[in-house]
Amino acid sequence: MKTIRILGMSCQHCVTSVLEALSSIKGIHDVRVDLEKGTATFEHNVPVDLEIIKQHIEDAGYELGQE
């Protein structure tokens, strides 16, 4: 399981957007987003490129924070 920090989420709509953005990445599954902590966790069955995650997060309108 991997945990990443997401910046810019403020409501349930944001949670859904981030959830969909991460879930659309090949190899990532079981995504959970914690609005209060500003984090997302997921399982991955192949190594996942953090740059790809960053791109998807940014395309959804949020930022990948420092771990």
Q: Which residues contact Cu ion (rule: CB under 5 A)?
A: 10-11, 13-14
**Rg, C-alpha atoms of the chain:** 10
Report H helices in 1-67. Answer: 12-23, 50-59
**Shortest distance, CB of residue 30 to Cu ion, whole angstroms?**
22
**Residue 10 or 29 having the CB closest to Cu ion:** 10
Burial 20-30 (b: 16+ CB within 10 A, else e): ebbeebeebee
